[in-house]
Structure 1
Amino acid sequence: MTEETPKFRKRFGLRLKFALWTTFFVLLMIAGVFLYFINRQINTLTEEMERNGIALATSFSAAAKEPFIFDDDLTLVTMAANVKKSNPGILYCVITDTEEIIKAHPDSVLLRDKPFKYSRNLKVKREVITDTTEGFPVLIAEDPSRYDIRAPIVVKEPKTGKLSEIGYVHLGFSKEPIALAVRKTLIGLAGVAAIFSVIGILGIFLLTTMVVRGLVRLTKDIEIIGRGDLNHPVQVKSRDEVGLIAYSVEVMARNLKEAQSRLLETERFKHEVEIAQRIQAILLPRALPRIAGHEVATYYQPALVVGGDYYDFFRMAKGKVGFIMADVAGKGVGGSLIMVMTRTMANMEAAFDDNPKDLLVSLHDQLRGEIPEDMFVTACAVALEPEKSLVQLCSAGHNPAALFRASVGKTGWLEPEGAPLGIALLSREQYAEVIEMTEFTMMPGDAIVLYTDGVTEAMNEAGEQFGEGRLLDVIARNGAGSAADIRNAIVKEIENFTRGAPQSDDITLMVIKRL
């Protein structure tokens, strides 16, 4: 009795995830703009109040000089009262000597010769030098409810011509007008922000629907094709990543259909291999990436029984260049379909990740439960920051990468811990704990070699494997050459070793070299 495949249950679709994350970032951006403008208005109003206060205090101190010298209380009180009356925002206008003893107060003559107590709890904010105060600073102080601007009364000694301070003018300004203006602006901006938030959220859901629509259609097409209707046309025709997947699925379906017509003339296994080879050839990169200060060389030779070898290049977040070498534990069409799935997911995830660990964790999370329990994917992922030649490397149970150091002319292994992708027993969190990331800088002449087990397990007619030792040796002997030279030397060494013995597995190589 055939075991029934459990029905797939979707929890959160791409549309919902994309919409929620985009909404979060839009709201975060609106909140940032909101706070920026509020803070900007507070600073603008404060600067304007300080500027006007300094001008008023310095002009008053200049006018109060003569009556202060002659101890003309009546004139000083009258002047202070007029300043306070003509400027409603002023809490007080007080004239003191240099010891902060009141000499004139418009509210009561009884306060004369009393200490100016308001100045005790003030915190000095800054000092300003103006032309009208003869180089003596105007002091700006504040407490939670007010600003105090203190302008010096400066006189010149008749005999010596020396300038000195003989007293101060204190102007007190309430912070309430600024707070009131900010509250009004706050209400206005909150309304505008609410309107834009609603419009933005609606726009996001509309945009998300438009973006994900192609994936939804493609999923339905794949389900129909998966049920055996190979004549079903793929509806998605866009020229983007989704269109590329649709094209790959369409090619896959077309090749499967062609294979069906030939199954009557030859055995099924042979034709499955042909289909898988075509899919694999389509999905492998057609051009090498151009990276300043670096060069890349690759080699791929499929076996008669095609495996699931795969390599690719892509742009990652923060301007990094990504490389991946993978091997699906499965042959024929099944292995190739897993390779298609892995390649598609890797290309979609790479744009959001800036290091290979996050990429492999995301790939594992998506593959887990989507592939048969007896299948898995090994992979080695690299992120290169071209400007610094900074390399980050992770291995998901893959063959260790080889690193050639030009400065010493030697080759060693890069073997960070990691587990294969798609193992159902490991959750995303558990997998993130298992996998390690190696980080280092490539120096001029250094080279990294990624490969699949078809290289080290290539056998001669005597059944002897090529092995890791021979691989290290050929890299060390040819490491001073270009990336293509290193690749060609490895391929030639394998050919000389196997001497015409049948190739049992795909041979895949990638060489990354710093110039």
Structure 2
Amino acid sequence: MPTFGGIESFINHTMGLKAKFSLWMALFAIIAMGLVNAFFIAREHKILSREIKLRGETIARSVAQNSEAPLGHKNDLLLSTFAYDTKKNNESVVYCHIIDREQHIWASTEKFSFKEMYVLPAGLELLRDKPILVQSHKRDGGEEVFDIAVPIKIKEKIIGEVHLGMSQDAIKESIKETSKGMAIMTVVTIGGGVLGILILVSFIIGSIGKITEDIEAIGNGELDREITVKRKDEIGRIARSVKEMAAKLKLAQEELVEKEKMKKEMQIAREIQQTLVPQSTPDILGFQITSYYESAVEVGGDYYDYIDVDKDHFGIVVADVSGKGVASSLVMTMVRTIMRREALMGSSPHSLLSMANYMLMNDIPDGMFITIFYVVVNTLSGEITYCCAGHNPALLYRASKRRIQSLKPKGPPLGVPRINAKEFARRLVEEKQVIQTGDVLMLYTDGITEAMNKREEQFGEERLRDIITLKKGDMNVFGIKQRLLASLKEFTEGALQSDDITFVIIKKE
């Protein structure tokens, strides 16, 4: 049997240069066409997958939008109509499930019982708080589908989900036809191309050499290298692929730089926030005071402060700046500066917040605003004077009645463009209360009530009220603080939180 070395020797010694080039280039053409075929099949698979996903996302969002009112009113008949019409009117739709927040099935094109618990196919993730989730899986019969999950919301509250199955058969059929066409084209190209290879060989080698230079330049970091593509054949396709690769590498590099920039910005924001948080708690005769601040994974805009108004009055402010990062931290710095300066002038909560709004409204970024709860405590009489500018209500526990009173006078947030300074002052309401011995006042941000567990349930105000409702009449603010933090830890089950957690608790002794 002849060996490879013998064949190579036969070619080198008995075949002319033209035959050698014809043979080797024919072999090369076969390999090159195979690579091009694989490239285009992968590319077509990606494009078709994207098209099917986009079409499925559009259908799923439409079903979710149409299902808002029926699911909210528990109209299973109308929901079933939506599900079956969706499958009937779209050939590529394999199934459509409409489920509520507790994973009960309200409508399905499959054989499920009404309100049966929906079980995700093996290997698929839960939608959780994502706006949309597209995953691929195989059904029992081996059919490959995209499972597209979209939340059903009413006023931003998730009440259920739509699961839509889109068949991938179209991808297989298209790739099959493409492979057949590429195979035919390969045979024709090789058969006709061998005759003209010697004429074109120098041109081809020159083109390959240019592409090689471009690839080496890209590998050395020249991502802005100008790659000119003039040819329409396989070499031209390879050149275009190299050009696309360079563009994608450059985009990836830019995204990496942007991520590093954002990471640095978040670090700066955290440092600014740490300088704004009070470093100590004031010692006020007749009052117990404690506070807590914990930043989220992404730096938010929570802020709290103690303000020494005069010898008989002290102020407490808790605020939340919309947005994240350095911008919100800088706005917090402005708020802190204005609040402290105006408080020293003896301004009432109403006057102070009105002045703060006037000074901030033209200087903060568009779309950003601040919610604030500000209270001034008279240490002699126990009278508290307070305003709430679009913030969470303060909670006042009355020890004598063993009940909680919600303090939320009307008032818009600071910095809202459509509300001028005069209108803000008119709409902001100031109220007064007198706190007695044993009463507890708590100011907080929505990071507590909106803390989420792994089942996407919120901690809520009711749980917070239960914690503040003292089990023992002599429990101090530090005990309340520990109970609240322990309850939050137990409830969230280690789930990462997207908002800061801030609160201040005071108790009259």
* TM-score under structure 1 length normalisation: 0.48
Q: Which structure's CA Rg is the greater one?
A: 1
* TM-score under structure 2 length normalisation: 0.48
